[in-house]
């Protein structure tokens, strides 16, 4: 197979490319898929070959909690305001495995948005800081989970309550858990949120069908034993699971005479319960899907299943999913790298702004210290002058208003009561505009000169005035 670039130059495809083995899809679909990389996502490549797929991940995909979480996120993520976000199981696994670069913005990856949405729904109020996810989780579900915790103790000593709320530095963080433990945490949250009446009301408003609420098999082969196999399509019909349900053995007598007289007492309720449920992932990508179709063609027993999953609608859905996730993967890596670069620039500008602000604060503090030292020196000089000279003879015309105010304070602390009587008129002019102090000192000496000469006249005049008033 040969693909063409925009310059119409043929680009040969590697002969070992698995696209050559596909027997499904049209030419345009296979050509478009062949141009995209990677061929296999890293979560589907074993660690021995440089991928992320471990035995733990392989076994995890067959666990009930894993199936429950991915089905919940695929159908009900709109409840936590994430319906517009693309959800793909492979991309989600890559996020949990730490494939993408560190999200400095903390809201670029779907996983961080999911953590905030689930923990906010579980708490009943908005949680805006993803770093507080573990703390809020422990406050709701306690410390007996994979995230652990420390019991809070309170002791009273001398009527003082000492809260021993130790710091959570050594406690597990969600980002450092194994992928199985991460799904354990997500299962706890999704199952807890699903019990809310608000969740059921939301389902009714959305008009979701019962097919979205339960696993409806597309094929159930006949079985004469207490073990029943069911084949279920999940994630927009892109993954096929085989669900094996094991029931408790129930012996039914062939003749009526061997039947118990009171069956309701003879058979316990546990006899009618399901004993166990197991899931098995049949295929998870388009190449495994193609191989499985070839396998079904050799069996007449699974002809109904082959007819169902080989329809054009399902094949188109698988192709569309494979193409979309690879394009999204490329764009997401570029987006995170761009956000990281912008974060570095913002961090540098913030550090520069903080450093500049700190220098300004230091300069301001230095200026304040110099001003305070100058004031202290001025006060000491004034105290020395006041202690060695007469206050009334001091010329204050060359002093500023602030200096005259400080001088008066020093005069009040140094001078005796007999001396303070003279400068009293000078205190009033300092509070009013500066014109007043110029007039007051001129009137003061006139009063001092006139008082000794006109004293008798004032007494004579004051006497008749008092007589008239009386």
pLDDT band at 385 (very low <50, low <70, confident <90, very high): confident
186 located within any domain: yes
Q: Within this chain, do residues 245 and 329 fall inside the same structural domain, yes or no? A: no
Question: Which of 225-239, 393-407, 409-423 is predicted least confidently?
Answer: 409-423
Select, from the ranges 62-66, 84-88, 161-165, the one with the highest average predicted confidence (pLDDT). Answer: 62-66
Mean pLDDT of 365-392: 73
Instruction: Please report the pLDDT score of residue 457 as a whole number.
Output: 44
**Is the domain of 71 the same as that of 36?**
yes
pLDDT of residue 456: 43
Which is more confidently placed, 356 or 287? 287
Domain boundary among 345, 360, 385: 345
- Domain carrying residue 196: 19-149+168-214+314-345
Is the pLDDT reported for residue 67 higher than 80? yes
At residue 392, φ and ψ (nearest 5 deg) are -65, -30
Task: Write out pLDDT tens, residues 196-236.
Answer: 999 989 998 988 876 667 888 999 999 988 899 999 999 98
Report the pLDDT value the prediction gives residue 352, as an integer from 0 to 100: 75
Q: Can you give the pLDDT at residue 11?
A: 47
- In the prediction, which pLDDT does 189 show? 97
- On the question of pLDDT at 119 being above 80, the answer is yes
Same domain, 139 and 263: no
Residues 120 and 53 in one domain: yes
The verdict on 58 and 82 lying in the same domain is yes
Residue 209 and residue 326 in one domain: yes
If asked whether residues 84 and 184 sit together in one domain, one would say: yes
Residue 219 lies in a domain: no
Contact 29, 58 (CB under 8 A): no
Domain boundary among 326, 345, 364: 345
Q: Given the structure tokens 């202290």, which residue do they identify? A: 376
Please indicate, yes or no, whether residues 74 and 189 belong to a single structural domain of this protein.
Answer: yes
Is a pLDDT exceeding 80 seen at residue 441?
Answer: no
* Predicted confidence (pLDDT) at residue 442 exceeds the cutoff of 90: no
Same domain, 334 and 233: no
Identify the pLDDT of residue 303: 94
- pLDDT confidence of residue 347: 60
Regarding whether 140 and 96 lie in a shared domain, the answer is yes
195 part of a folded domain: yes
Is 276 inside any structural domain?
yes
Structure tokens at 83: 């319906």
User: Do 38 and 84 fall into the same domain?
Assistant: yes
More confident residue, 157 or 404: 404
69: in domain: yes
Both 23 and 115 in one domain: the answer is: yes
Is position 135 within any domain?
yes
Tokens of 59: 């076994």
Q: What is the predicted pLDDT for the residue at 341?
A: 72
Q: How many domains does the chain have?
A: 2
């Amino acid at each position: 197979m040969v693909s063409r670039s925009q310059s119409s130059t043929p680009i040969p495809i590697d002969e070992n490319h698995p696209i050559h083995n596909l027997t499904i899809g049209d030419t345009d679909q296979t050509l478009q898929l062949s141009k995209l990389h990677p061929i296999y996502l890293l979560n589907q490549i074993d660690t021995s070959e440089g991928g992320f797929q471990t035995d733990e991940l392989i076994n995890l995909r067959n666990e009930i909690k894993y199936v429950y979480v991915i089905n919940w996120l695929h159908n009900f993520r709109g409840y936590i305001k994430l319906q517009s976000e693309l959800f793909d199981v492979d991309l989600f696994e890559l996020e949990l495995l730490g494939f993408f670069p560190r999200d400095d913005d903390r809201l670029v990856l779907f996983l961080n948005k999911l953590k905030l949405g689930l923990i906010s729904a579980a708490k009943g109020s908005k949680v805006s800081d993803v770093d507080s996810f573990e703390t809020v989780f422990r406050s709701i579900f306690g410390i007996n989970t994979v995230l652990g915790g420390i019991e809070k103790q309170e002791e009273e000593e001398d009527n003082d309550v000492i809260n021993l709320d130790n710091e959570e530095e050594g406690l597990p963080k969600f980002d450092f858990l194994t992928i199985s433990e991460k799904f354990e945490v997500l299962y706890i949250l999704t199952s807890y949120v699903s019990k809310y009446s608000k969740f059921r009301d939301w389902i009714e408003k959305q008009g979701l069908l019962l097919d979205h609420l339960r696993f409806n098999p597309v094929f159930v082969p006949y079985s004469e034993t207490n073990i029943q196999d069911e084949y279920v399509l999940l994630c927009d019909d892109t993954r096929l699971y085989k669900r094996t349900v094991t029931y408790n053995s129930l012996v039914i007598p062939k003749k009526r005479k061997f039947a118990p007289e009171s069956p309701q007492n003879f058979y316990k309720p546990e006899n009618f319960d399901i004993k166990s449920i197991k899931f098995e992932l049949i295929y998870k990508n388009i190449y495994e899907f193609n191989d499985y179709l070839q396998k079904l063609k050799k069996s007449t027993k699974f002809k109904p299943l082959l007819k169902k999953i080989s329809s054009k609608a399902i094949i188109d859905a698988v192709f569309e999913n494979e193409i979309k996730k690879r394009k999204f993967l490329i764009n997401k890596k570029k987006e995170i790298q761009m956000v990281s670069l912008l974060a570095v620039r913002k961090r540098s500008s913030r550090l520069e702004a903080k450093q500049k602000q700190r220098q300004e604060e230091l300069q301001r503090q230095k200026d304040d210290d110099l001003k305070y030292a100058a004031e202290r020196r001025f006060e000491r000089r004034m105290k020395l002058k006041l202690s060695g000279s007469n206050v009334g003879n001091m010329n204050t015309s060359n002093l500023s208003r602030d200096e005259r105010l400080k001088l008066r304070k020093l005069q009040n602390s140094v001078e005796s009561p007999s001396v303070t009587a003279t400068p009293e008129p000078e205190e009033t002019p300092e509070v009013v505009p500066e014109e007043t102090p110029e007039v007051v000192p001129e009137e003061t000496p006139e009063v001092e000169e006139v008082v000794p000469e006109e004293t008798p006249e004032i007494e004579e005049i004051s006497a008749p005035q008092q007589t008239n008033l009386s």
